Amino acid sequence: MLSAENLAIIESEGRRILEFARQAPDVPVPQYPDWTMSDLVSHTASICGRTTQVCLTLPQERISAPRLPEGRDAIDWYSETLATMIDALRDADAAVEVWGFGPDPTIGFWERRMVIETGLHRWDAQQAVEPPDPLLDPVAIAGLDEFAEMWLPRMGELPTLEVLATDQDRSWVFGSGEPVESVDGGASDLYLRLMARPGVDLPPQWTAAIDGLAPPPKR
């Protein structure tokens, strides 16, 4: 059974994305050059659609995310795919093995992934219209928990880094061996910066590696 807390976060943060998108569907999104709010919503809807298919079909090999159907409004499509995905997750078994990223992926991986996706993109959507609220604690912690498996392998050789979340009394080590660099701050600021958004100051090599990650293409 999936976590009721996680499902509530996915639903509430997803609905906040819709709220901001409906305010200003054509506003540029600062995090993603060449994207409008509608592009961000379309991207998030695609991820919701793929997660729904994972829950319903239990694939063992990679499947593609759906694209915005021709003639559909991106915000309406996202509203529908968000609701359908929440229902699919609610009925799913977290322990079932399916295709995913990292070692031993399960439906539970996709639950965590959608907590992060909706929480992080809520921040992106809110940033486009007003000063954004910090990431929710469960969003930031889930992101920090998965960072070593999900993102670190894509970043090349970096000095081993310890990050300390001062508001959570927790730390994470990214890399092999003893840490040679360390940073501290709130969990939200730590994860936001690791995701190439404003946050804590990172060591120069880490800053270059993170800021060098290409933004997604315009949809």
| Sheet of strand 170-174, all strands in order from the earlier edge strand to the far edge | 170-174, 161-165, 181-185
Tokens 């659609």 identify what position?
A: 49
The model's pLDDT over 179-209, given as tens digits with 9 standing for 90+, comes to 999 999 999 999 999 999 999 999 999 999 9
**pLDDT > 70: percent of the chain:** 96
SS3 155: coil
How distant, in Å, are the alpha carbons of 105, 145, 206 from that of 152? 17, 12, 10
The model's pLDDT over 54-98, given as tens digits with 9 standing for 90+, comes to 999 999 999 999 999 999 999 999 999 999 999 999 999 999 999
> pTM (2 decimals)?
0.94
SS3 165: strand
- Which residues lie closer than 8 Å to 70 by C-beta, 6 or more apart? none
> Which part of the chain has CATH 1.20.120.450?
4-127
Q: In the CATH scheme, what is the homologous superfamily, with its name and number, of domain 4-127?
A: dinb family like domain (1.20.120.450)
pLDDT, averaged across the chain:
93
> Which part of the chain has CATH 3.30.1050?
137-211
Q: pLDDT grade, residue 37 (50/70/90)?
A: very high
Burial tier of 200 (Cβ tally within 10 Å: 0-12, 13-18, 19+): middle
CATH number listed for the domain at residues 137-211: 3.30.1050
